[in-house]
């Protein structure tokens, strides 16, 4: 688990695990992401600002806070582009404890803390809809949660590590 903490300490890093699965999504099929904070840096990010902002339902206080060491609660959608090696250029950094929803304007299922084990949390953004950002949740089961339009800042990701577990290789 020590290596995971080290990766968390590098906010400009996206980590992608490529797992062999039958009938999985096509590599490179990652959805477009809206750029909001770093407009001057080159990125495959496209703006989709024409959508109306989706309202934020109130989140109950009793929800669990996510971390890297256990699965996300049931109800979060799976990452459909789990085998994609397309670089992710933006990440979300919660400014405060932030509710994670199952869909834009959907049901809050857990919280993202601003840190995990004292290290600032940064989660890659994989989609955008109506002001909401879909992020790869910090959990062991590769789930996506939706962050509301406020309560976070974007961070530019400069590096991408791709781990091919079957071949035991790592590409930077």
Render pLDDT for 127-152 as a digit per residue (tens, 0 to 9). 999 999 999 999 888 899 999 999 99
Above 50 in pLDDT, residue 32? no
Percent with pLDDT over 70 in the chain: 71
pLDDT for the residue numbered 49: 53
Closest CA to 146 of 16, 48, 54, 13: 54
- The residue with greater pLDDT, 99 or 8, is 99
pLDDT for the residue numbered 158: 87
Of 4-8, 68-72, 99-103, give the lowest mean pLDDT range: 4-8
Find out whether 138 and 89 touch, Cβ atoms under 8 Å. Answer: no
Beta bridge pairs of residue 53:
none
pLDDT for the residue numbered 50: 64
Q: Check the CA dihedral 106-31-133-170 and report its sign.
A: positive
Q: 152 by DSSP, 3-state: which? A: strand
Query: How many CA atoms lie less than 13 Å away from 97 in the CB half-sphere?
Result: 12
Domain boundaries, the chain: 30-157
Q: 131 CB contacts (<8 Å, ≥6 apart)?
A: 51, 53, 54, 104, 148, 149
Closest CA to 9 of 115, 165, 92, 86: 115
Percent with pLDDT over 90 in the chain: 52
Find out whether 108 and 60 touch, Cβ atoms under 8 Å. Answer: yes
Above 60 in pLDDT, residue 95? yes
């Amino acid at each position: 688990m020590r290596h995971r903490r080290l990766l968390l300490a590098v906010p400009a890093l996206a980590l992608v695990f490529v797992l062999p699965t039958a009938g999985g999504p096509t590599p490179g099929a990652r959805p477009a992401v809206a750029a909001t904070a770093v407009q001057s840096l080159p990125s495959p990010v496209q703006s989709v600002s024409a959508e109306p902002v989706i309202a934020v339902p109130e989140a109950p206080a009793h929800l669990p806070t996510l971390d890297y060491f256990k699965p996300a609660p049931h109800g979060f959608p799976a990452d459909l582009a789990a085998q994609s090696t397309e670089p992710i250029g933006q990440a979300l950094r919660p400014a405060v404890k932030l509710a994670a929803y199952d869909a834009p304007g959907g049901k809050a299922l857990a919280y993202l803390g601003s840190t995990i084990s004292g290290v600032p949390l940064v989660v890659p953004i994989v989609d955008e809809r109506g002001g909401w950002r879909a992020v790869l949740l910090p959990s062991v089961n590769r789930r996506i949660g939706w962050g509301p339009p406020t309560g976070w800042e974007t961070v530019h990701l400069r590096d991408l590590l791709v781990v091919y577990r079957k071949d035991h290789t790592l590409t930077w």
